């Protein structure tokens, strides 16, 4: 029997700068919130818009750093964004 040789692609490790850039991107995106409310300020409804977008990015990441780290960074950024009131306010 003749074995066929398969070509294996050499997997290049991700650069540290790309890794840090991705983590910063997840921090910025994860902190975004959309808050709906009336003009008097009562009854605001916060929606973690950045977390939703960040999860979509994390699921479809081609370079794939550890997803557990991505999810943890998104969750921390979500809470920081909630407490710092970062995001978009829509009043009616």
pLDDT band at 1 (very low <50, low <70, confident <90, very high): low
Q: Is 1 helix (H, G, I), strand (E, B) or coil?
A: coil
Q: Are the beta carbons of 12 and 62 closer than 8 angstroms?
A: no
Q: Note the pLDDT tens digit of each residue in 25-67.
A: 999 999 999 988 876 667 788 899 999 999 998 888 766 667 8
How far apart CA 85 and CA 78 sit, in angstroms, is 10
In sequence order, which ranges of 1-92 are alpha helices (DSSP H)? Answer: 16-30, 49-59, 67-83
Q: Is the dihedral of CA 31, 20, 57, 25 positive or negative?
A: positive
Task: Kindly report the length of the chain.
Answer: 92
Enter the tokens of residue 80. Answer: 């920081």
């Amino acid at each position: 029997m003749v074995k066929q040789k398969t070509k294996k692609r050499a997997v290049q490790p991700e650069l540290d700068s790309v890794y840090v850039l991705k983590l910063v991107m997840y921090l910025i995106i994860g902190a975004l919130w959309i808050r709906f409310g009336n003009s008097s300020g009562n009854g605001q409804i916060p929606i973690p818009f950045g977390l939703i977008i960040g999860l979509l990015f994390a699921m479809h990441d081609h370079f794939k750093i550890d997803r557990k780290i991505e999810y943890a960074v998104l969750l921390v950024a979500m809470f920081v964004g909630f407490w710092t009131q970062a995001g978009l306010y829509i009043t009616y």
